[in-house]
Amino acid sequence: MRPQDILPHRPPFLLLTEVGSVESGRSATGSWTLTGDEDFFAGHFPGRPTLPGVLMVESLAQLGAVAVLSDPRYGGRLPLFGGVDRARFRRQVVPGETLDLEVTLGRMSARAGRGSGRASVAGKLACEAELLFVVVEAPTGP
């Protein structure tokens, strides 16, 4: 499944390359392959390009949104960040690496929910965080 088939995000802010598995309303796996051509690498940091931690968390949130939006109860809706708890960054992620992502959703209601996510490279943990989100009506039109 292509991320853009479910998410409203588009480049340059689509931070998922591939969606692996989805259990609607419960969990999802996916990946983000970093080519090195991403604009942020030029300034973060010159001579030592490093994926910003906040973008790792956003990538997890986008994968979580795939799990939410694949649930028919949330059709026509849009999950937005409500908060991030216990974010930890365990290793540097550099151009050419693939960030393997997994998100598990916890308690969800009609208007909000929470989940937890992990990002790793070649089996080594890079980032973990708890995600809180609110669910709003999706915009209509272009």
Q: Catalytic positions, please?
A: 44
Residues 64/115, Cβ–Cβ less than 8 Å: yes
Q: Locate the DSSP E strands across the chain.
A: 18-23, 27-33, 77-89, 98-108, 112-121, 124-137
Amino acid, res. 102: E
41 SS3 class: helix
Quick one: CA dihedral 92, 54, 106, 77, positive or negative? negative
